[in-house]
Structure 1
Amino acid sequence: MAGQNRSASRKQSGKIAFCGMMVALSVALMLTGGLIPIATYCAPMISGVLLLPILLEYGKKTAWMGYLATALIVLILGIDKEAAFFYIFLGYYPIIKWSIDKLRQKPMRVILKLLLFNGAVVAMYAVLGFVLHMDAVVEEFTEMGMWMLAAFIILLDICLFMYDRLLVPMTVLYANKLRPRLRFLIR
């Protein structure tokens, strides 16, 4: 009986440590958003990829907890609020991607991904501009003009599909190359 409790406790401790390391690494990456201009868009995507090991090892519920922990810490510590909000509104994508990909019809998958992504982007910028009164964001979009705004949205959609395609090989890379090396942590 005592051996079983010790084994369960050790397993739970390993889970917490592993998830904590992934969250810490995600937060460290997100903090680069304020230092490197392009990191505003790249850091949330890379941080989302770090949810994949949690998802594969411990399931959706734990991955959602890792996402929430990262989102809260980044929001509190964040140098770049735009990057933090990109993560808050889109960082969960690697968790839900696999559920969307189970749909049989490819056009439905594409439409659902575009609706989810564009809806999240519009909601994020609405919160940044109109709720949090970040006038620089509103001014930036006002100066862009309609054609530049459309080009920006198209480029973001292209980034979504590139990111979506990248998640599959990243999952395979983790499962085949990294997971065996991390077995001492994940038991």
Structure 2
Amino acid sequence: MRARPLALCGLLSALAAALLILGGVLPGMVFCAPILAMGVLLPVLEEWGPKAAGTSYAAVSILALLLAPDRETAFVYLFFGWYPILRPKIAALPSRPLRVLARLAVCSAAAVLLYGLALRLMGLTEEIAAWYVNALLLAAGNAVFLLTDATLARLTGVWHWKLKKHLYR
């Protein structure tokens, strides 16, 4: 009975890794590929829970770091790919403003950590752009993150409604 979940987790993890590798090849896919990879792993989370999803996320992150031609794509997935596992906890918060603030805090913390670490490792600790340019980029990133969250919510709904209906007849 464990063969089916294991096979599906492996197949979806391979698809997510392939999307991340493809994201490094196609121009402009640096941020799209990690979002698609997050969506691909949603069935693992919904069917077998956070432990299986965390294992798939870790495997895909390692594969992306080893195989992706564009390191930024792999690192964006490494820093943001765990969010679908956290998403149900944030969705359970009592008020809508609190949920939005939690989502923005998660996105901002991950983005500042990711790009702060990247700039420090590259030795670019001086100010690269004016503070307002960085604030504008962070605001745009937060807007994209909120759209990603809404997309993940809709994809989860599709999985529950249509795919489960047809797969488990």
**TM-score of the superposed pair, with normalisation by structure 1:** 0.83
Is it true that 1:30 corresponds to 2:20 in the alignment? Answer: yes
SS in 2 for 1:103: coil
Residue 17 of structure 1 is matched in structure 2 by: 7
Shift of 1:23: 0.3
Amino acid at match of 1:19: C
> How many residues are matched?
168
Q: Is contact 1:54-1:63 (8 Å) kept?
A: yes
Q: Which one of 155, 160, 165 corresponds to residue 170 of structure 1?
A: 155
- Following superposition, the deviation at residue 147 of structure 1 comes to 3.0
1:61 paired residue among 40, 51, 56: 51
Distance apart, 1:19 and its partner CA: 0.1
Pick from 98, 103, 110 the counterpart of residue 108 of structure 1.
Answer: 98
- Which amino acid in structure 1 is aligned with residue 163 of structure 2? L
Q: 1:149 to 1:67 in 2, by over 3 A?
A: same
Q: Which amino acid aligns with 1:147?
A: Y
Match of 1:148 in 2: 133
Distance 1:159 1:64, change over 3 A: same
Unaligned stretches of 5+ residues in structure 2: none
- Ranges in structure 1 where 5+ consecutive residues have no aligned partner: 1-10
Q: Once superposed, what is the RMSD of the aligned Cα atoms?
A: 1.9
Deviations along 1:52-100, one digit per CA (max 9) or x if unpaired, are 1001111111011111110011011111111111100100111111111
1:51·1:95 contact (CA, 8 Å) conserved in 2?
no
State the 1:181 CA deviation: 4.2
Partner of 1:86: 76
Range that drifts further, 169-178 or 112-121: 169-178
Aligned: 1:125 with 2:130 = no
Structure 1 residue 72 corresponds to structure 2 residue 57 = no
